[in-house]
Chains A and B, each alone.
Chain A
Amino acid sequence: MAVTPLAATEVARADAARAARAMRARHRREVIVQTTVAAIIALIFFSPIVYWFLVSVKPLPYTMTWPPVIFSEPIFDWYQVVILGMDPTIGAKTGVIYSGAAGDYYVIPSLVNSVVIGVLSTIISISLATPSAYALSRFQFRIRNNLITWILSTRMMPPVVAMFPLFWLYTQADQRLFSAIFGKGTSVLYDSLLGVLLVHVVVNLPLSTLLLKSFFDDIPTDLDEAAMVDGCTRWQAFTKVIWHYALPGMAAAAILAFITSWNEFLLTLTVTRTQFRTVPVFGSTFDVSAAGTEWGALAAVSTTAMVPVFIFVLIVQRNLVRGLTMGAIKG
């Protein structure tokens, strides 16, 4: 429509108005269609979590039926069992059937273990990885690329490779070495905080180092040189100036390290027996193939274990992409 406002006839003006209305309608239709598609995708992926949460607030008979009773009057007996470690018979009135012993489903000790191990291993691996990442980013030396490849390959290595060697190292060191030093029966590594911590730190180190290296690569070397011209040694340049610029990277690496530690299963399972079990190891102790599975208790355990990480992730979402790809993609 090549109509200038001055020369506009009545007809042309009406045409323009119709066209504008049609465009607005199309725009509205686009908004509705695109938003609906996004919402449906999100709900498909989120609904299993909601469904599983609802199991934790239902009496057991309602969970084992088809068609399902999706909503019922909520009961919190399962949470009393898993969070307060209460005697399960309290649920008799609401129809909770429970065959296990008191404390079987008490999740708090392993939740505490998971949080303590997650936080400590994150702090340790980030503080070890940051100087290493700086060195890999700044120094040019002969085997630099081989070193990077080696660090990367430890991330690519399936943990079953280290499973038995670590188990053997832990049990033998305890039996032969530490028993001789600290008295018979002491376990310093196997089934101990130190042992689990060590595993989580080594699992996280390659990840954190390579991710942080990608952040240091983005910091101009002029900054180091300026600091060193002002009389700093390399180490002082790092501790006084450069690492402040890498803080976003350290945050991203910390998020990733914490999530990895929270989810780690195979190696923690191998190096623990009864003490220092993290939530995944605790979750694996239940026999879910038997007919008498207490789904309500398991759902309550799961919900208790998921909610802290969900809150954490929703807060830090922005840093996630770069972390998940170890810096290969800048999100």
Chain B
Amino acid sequence: MTESGARKRRPPFWSSERPWIWLLPIIVLLFVYSVYPFIFNVVISFHRFDPMTKAFRWNFPNNWIDLLTNADFLKSFRTTFIFGGAALLTELVLGIAIALAFDRNQVKLRSLWQSLFILPMVVPPVISGLMFRFLQNADYGIVSNILYALNVIDRTEPLIGGTGRNVLLGLLIVDVWQWTPFVALIVLAGLKAMPHEPIEAAIVDGANRWQLFWEIKLPLLRNVLAVVILFRIVDLLRLFDYVAIMTSGGPGGNSETISHFAYRMHKSIEWGMVSVVGIVVLILAIIITNAYMRLFKVKF
């Protein structure tokens, strides 16, 4: 009798039958990392830090107007999206092609090639930045010299330096080098997990390799690609490390991303401005990822 009575009662608040105790630590910590920054940013975005008195002064709506009319910010905004689009597209095409090449069934020493291939992915981005700063040196960099030989660029406009016309190409090369393995590795996992029946049926029906890819494999990869693209979008939106190490946003602000703009504002104590950028970026990220996840039904 007591047992059935106990079952009917709601377990007490601290019981391990209730989810709160389990989730408390992560909720507290993520509060510090996301809710507090958001509220703080909103408040500070209405203020301007005065370095003389070391105090925040009410400055609404000037910060917002300043930022939304700031030529550097608008440029960094455009750069982030142009660069992101180009990088995403290149990495996707290359990644799928490479995954297909690794997935053929007569490749000898596959695990060796695959291991060497994925290593760029775990190089700290700061280190890749240093490395490619050397490889893209205008005089003796091997990447620069290969591109000179192929007539993609010429010595008056090197990858890094000059008027900065080719600087995004320079950053693109690093990003593609580092993250194509990520795309390929995950697409490869998708190809491995693919059911055999539709592929075999298509081969029996006389489909060639091209048709097999476009009509069978690509549609089956849909969910895998949705996840890969989501992760790339998130990372490209926050692009900072290569820019900070290789170009500091230059020459002429041609390679400045939103994150680097915010960091530069932070360094020059324009803290009201940093908060405005923070809110803009946060809203942007939430809208883009939510819309994307709804559209492609990505589930975690």
- Give chain A's interface residues, CB within 8 Å of chain B: 27, 30-31, 34-35, 37-39, 41-43, 45-46, 48-49, 51-52, 55, 63-66, 68, 128-129, 131-132, 134-136, 139, 141, 144, 147-148, 150-169, 198, 201-203, 205-206, 209-210, 213-214, 233-235, 238, 259, 262-263, 265-266, 270, 279-281, 283-284, 286, 288-289, 295, 298-299, 301-302, 305-306, 309-310, 313-314, 317, 320-321, 324-331
Contact = CB atoms under 8 A, between A and B. Distances in A.
Interface in B237-277: 237-238, 240-241, 244-246, 248, 258-259, 262-263, 266, 271, 274-275, 277
Q: State the majority secondary structure of interface residues on A.
A: helix
Given A157-B282, A288-B130, A129 B26 contact: yes
Given A66-B145, A158-B282, A263-B124, A52 B135 contact: yes
The B contact surface, by secondary structure, is helix
Given A205-B26, A325-B186, A328-B227, A68 B281 contact: no
B37 A324 contact: no
A295 B139 CA distance: 14
Given A324-B182, A326-B300, A329-B224, A66 B139 contact: yes
Specify which of A30, A131, A167, A281 lies most central, judged by the most chain B CB atoms within 10 Å of its CB: A131
Of the listed residues A306, A327, A330, the one surrounded by the most CB atoms of chain B closer than 10 A to its CB is A306
Given A128-B29, A310-B122, A313-B118, A162 B37 contact: yes
A191 B119 CA distance: 31
Contacts of B112: 42
A63 B141 CA distance: 9
A302 B131 contact: yes
B19 A270 contact: no
Contacts of A158: 237-238, 258-259, 281-282, 285
A298 B129 CA distance: 11
6 tightest A-B contacts by CB? A135-B22, A235-B16, A158-B238, A165-B37, A280-B126, A42-B113
Given A35-B106, A43-B116, A151-B26, A329 B186 contact: yes
B189 interface: yes
A26 B267 CA distance: 63
Contacts of B271: 164, 168
Interface in B10-54: 15-19, 22-23, 25-27, 29-30, 32-34, 36-38, 40-41, 44
B30 A214 contact: no
A233 B122 contact: no
Nearest to B35: A150
A34 to B, nearest CB: 5
Contacts of A281: 126
A162 to B, nearest CB: 4
Interface stretch (B61-69, B84-92, B97-105, B207-215): B97-105
Interface centre among B116, B120, B177, B246 (most CB of A within 10 A): B116
A206 B30 contact: yes
Nearest to B115: A314
B59 interface: no
Given A55-B134, A325-B227, A159 B238 contact: yes
Contacts of B131: 48-49, 52, 299, 302
Nearest to B36: A165
B117 interface: yes
Contacts of A329: 186, 189-190, 223-224, 227
B82 interface: no
A263 B178 CA distance: 13
7 contacts: A51-B142, A52-B135, A233-B16, A270-B266, A284-B245, A329-B224, A331-B189
Contacts of B237: 158
A13 B131 CA distance: 61
Given A162-B34, A328-B227, A306 B241 contact: no
